[in-house]
Amino acid sequence: MIRVVQGDITELDVDAVVNAANPSLMGGGGVDGAIHRAGGSAILAECMEIRRTMYPGGLPLGEAVATTGGALRARHVIHTVGPIWRGGGSSEAETLGRAYRSCMRLAAGMDLRSVAFPCISTGAYGYPVKEASRVAIHAIREFIGETGWHGEVLLVAFTALDHLALTAALEDAL
Ligand code: APR
């Protein structure tokens, strides 16, 4: 089931929170910075190990990897990289949908039952939040429809504007 909530994703008691990372996995600003700050060095240590063993060139756009949640209430962090918005003509929607599906596939593979997503790519990466919300909900609903996964997905809005966009997109989809 999919729910829209407003707040700070680092405070949620869920099996996994999703991080809108960059390919380096070495942290950044926005939700990436918040998750690393609140989760602590254990998350970064596992990100460095993932870079060393699995992705020496960086995490490709649309892929997802999991680490410990560290000091977060969430047990795990699923790191993914969304597209940078370049106007809509560079397969941004396809890449964003792939990022959401990769996170869902990883969560299902880890037998997780609750996953919280931020609005991936809608901050520093500039993706218009209304369109990104539609892509996110379509990708998640498609994954659930194809696999029968029956956990809980929380779409976390940090701002009231994002909450409006996510709520409207979810209502349109139902
Ligand atoms: N909880 C929930 N959502 C948050 C939080 C938080 N604590 N902090 C920020 N957000 C929201 C933003 O308001 C935005 O809606 O997360 C969404 C994604 O914004 P960014 O964090 O800027 O991520 P993104 O647009 O995907 O850009 C990723 O920014 O931080 C760097 O390392 C990151 O290079 C990468 C890029």
Question: Which of 31, 47, 159, 166 for a ligand 1 pocket mutation test, highest count of atoms within 8 Å of Cβ?
Answer: 31
Q: Which two tokens stand for residue 143?
A: 């994954």
CA-162 nearest atom, ligand 1: 15
Quick check: CB of 162 below 6 Å from ligand 1?
Answer: yes
Residue 63's pLDDT is what?
Answer: 98
> To 10 degrees, the CA torsion angle through 14, 58, 130, 91?
-140
Residue 43's pLDDT is what?
Answer: 98
CA-120 nearest atom, ligand 1: 26
Q: Does the global pTM surpass 0.75?
A: yes
Residue 80's pLDDT is what?
Answer: 99
**Residue 35's CATH number:** 3.40.220.10
pLDDT tens-place string over residues 62-114: 999 999 999 999 999 999 999 999 999 999 999 999 999 999 999 999 999 99
Q: How far is the CA of 120 from the centre of ligand 1 (A)?
A: 7
Task: Report the distance separating Cα 80 and Cα 153, nearest Å.
Answer: 16
Active site residues: 32
Q: How far is the CA of 143 from the centre of ligand 1 (A)?
A: 23
Whether 39 and 70 have beta carbons less than 8 Å apart is answered as yes
DSSP 15-52: SEEEEE--TT-S--SHHHHHHHHHH-HHHHHHHHHHHH
Residue numbers of the domain that contains 125: 2-173
Residue 86's pLDDT is what?
Answer: 98
Q: What is the mean pLDDT of the chain?
A: 98
Quick check: CB of 83 below 6 Å from ligand 1?
Answer: no
Residue at 123: amino acid letter: G
Nearest CA to ligand 1 atom 12: 123
Nearest CA to ligand 1 atom 30: 29
Task: Report the distance separating Cα 166 and Cα 33, nearest Å.
Answer: 22
pLDDT tens-place string over residues 19-30: 999 999 999 999
Nearest CA to ligand 1 atom 15: 119
Q: What's the domain count of the chain? A: 1
CA-156 nearest atom, ligand 1: 2
Task: Report the distance separating Cα 74 and Cα 68, nearest Å.
Answer: 9
Higher pLDDT, 174 or 132: 132
Residue 14's pLDDT is what?
Answer: 98
